[in-house]
Structure 1
């Protein structure tokens, strides 16, 4: 990022990779094997991060960039779960106090996981999460670490893209789940800087399709929290992509597609069986798009980002036990 451009640069991404190396894993790219032995695409296993999702990358980079005064004041954020855990973990590792504002609709498993890292938890109605976090920051001086609309966070998430380019020499397409847009912004910036020929496709649930609507209209759109809260992909319920994220998406992303609730749930079982990886519904959205044929074959290997693995065990067991083994 420079004075002339708000977009993160390759230098920003590489610097972030160095900062997070001691905390975040370099996750593997795993082939998804179909029942007939084909490998139609591969999966980037971000659920293997210590907090179970890619969010640790952005949070770790943001915490690492705090100055001494900010470290003393602590950090605050708002999240439905995965970013909450990430900030709590990164702050704990750095010896920084953290306050996390969580919507009351967040899965209990994610709330409990956030508490274990010593963060102070503030539960609010979903529509109040942004305002409450900002109020806490104003009252306490804590540094606000947004879930996605932040250059520090985007650069951290973009390290996923740096890794994919290195790991897959014949990379053809990267498919990325979208909520606020931090992950796809960073990945797209990294991929287009290193391999401009590679396609980057963003994927949303149909029930939280604000980006898809905005993409078609040529302008950023905002949905109601009531609408986006309908999707089973609880990590993708944000009402819109961020302002800075929209700029990255329109600059670097090639296409935006959506998937149904049924396709998301089916994809969880397919990924677990075919790639031997645990994945939550939010993390299965990219794979769902490939499985549903929404992402063109094209040349080279297609990699779907499995962004998280924080799923209720009973739901996981139910989805893995289904018999639908359809793979494109």
Structure 2
């Protein structure tokens, strides 16, 4: 104990060399020896028992909440559908002082809405006072003051941020709805692809039909030029064809089917208007015959 105490050899006064800590040293004892200067010297001793009294020398220490940087801050997520009386969190603190000085009291020093949260002053539990509504803010800040019961009170503060979140049921329903929406989008894309393929197929079929119609028209035009085969043994032969409102007849010597008249030959061409005639006019025309210089003839 020589490091803690000093005894004055002249008057016997005992003094402390350093501060005592009740939490680490509650009691100790030491012995004092008093002797005279005679010869022989006589002495006497006494044992001193020292009992330390506790002083409020330790402030409260926050155990929860504690953030990563060791500050007394925390975030709590609470579903919006919790009822009144729901336990949000519990602030835990410790005071190294013993006895009355170590008793701790909790109080709300700052809160965004006093109607939402309540704090138990002895346990540090934070509970909801009512159900949440749609008009309540999504985030609330609470500052909790923790103080001891010493004659000179020491205190500490903790900050709790409460975030309101959607309940798990709503989140699950939202996930199912999102999945259904994705499936619906996939179905729409599939039907759009089918529609596009159908339109493309119809377009190709239309092109093929138009090409076929053009080819058939060409065949019809070539079939107009047909030789006249019902001649009666005369020396004349005719080929008839139409063009607009006029009818043309090529006459010449008897030719085989499929033969042609060479341009520049001495054949003859008759142009006759294509109009409907009465029966009398038809008989008159039938009786008419035309003869050409080179003995070729044609009959209408």
TM-score (structure 1 length as normaliser): 0.19
TM-score (structure 2 length as normaliser): 0.20
| Larger proportion of strand | 2
| Larger proportion of helix | 1
